[in-house]
Each structure stands twice: as structure tokens, then as C-alpha cells.
Amino acid sequence: MIKKIIPLLTNWFFLFSTTTLVIHQIIQKVFHISIPILDNYGDDFFAMPFILTIFLAEQYLWKRRTTPLSIFETLTFTLLFGLFFEFILPEFNPNYTKDYWDFLAYGLGALSFYYLINKK
């Protein structure tokens, strides 16, 4: 299974997404610099390739699956993720706000994962 995990974790788009997420968080939280497009939608877009890749690597590692995620699984995971962060979390935490455009960012990030990382 390591033969399946290494290509996932060294995929150029996974590395780009992860690096962008980390650098943006440092710029935003440590240096208090705002980049509106990344603040509002970038994290949502880049989070999906990161999260879905880590999820798939974990599945391969523990031999829970041997195949990539289907488009149905990818979009279902993304929809549930979006519902949690856009509807449930804002009800309990004022730091989170509903933004329906985030679903587009989640979806585009998930499709990027599916076509650029989730190799058949």
C-alpha cells in the first residue's frame, strides 16, 4: 500500500495545496495580513485536495480500500463537509459564517483533487 500512498503525498497539486494553505494561515494569523480572495475562498478550495488526499492515504494505509475515490464519494464527502462548515458550525461558533459561495470553492477543490490527485 505504500506504493499507493507515496504518489498521493508527493503529487504536485497536493503539495501546492498544502503549501498554499500553510503559508496563507501564517500570513493571516501570525502576520495579520489579509488577502481577501484567499481569506474568503482560497482556504476552502485548497482544503478539499488536502483533506481528501489525507483521507485516501489513510484508507490505503489501513487497507480499508484499494481503489481511488469515486466521483460520487468525492462529491458526497465534499457536500457533507460543506454542510457542516456552512450550516452546523455557524450555529455554534460566531467565528464561522454562512457563505453559499464556499460550496463552489469546496466543489472546485474537490474536482481538482479528483482529476489531479485521485489517479485510477
Which 8-state DSSP code applies to residue 63? T
| pLDDT digit string, tens, across residues 39-86 | 999 999 999 999 999 999 999 999 999 999 999 999 999 999 999 999
pTM: 0.93
Measured at the CA of 38, the angle between CA 36 and CA 40, to 5 degrees, comes to 65
| Cα separation, 79 vs 96, whole angstroms | 17
- Parent domain of 52: 2-116
Total number of domains constituting the chain: 1
| pLDDT digit string, tens, across residues 26-40 | 999 999 999 999 999
| Cα separation, 17 vs 44, whole angstroms | 11
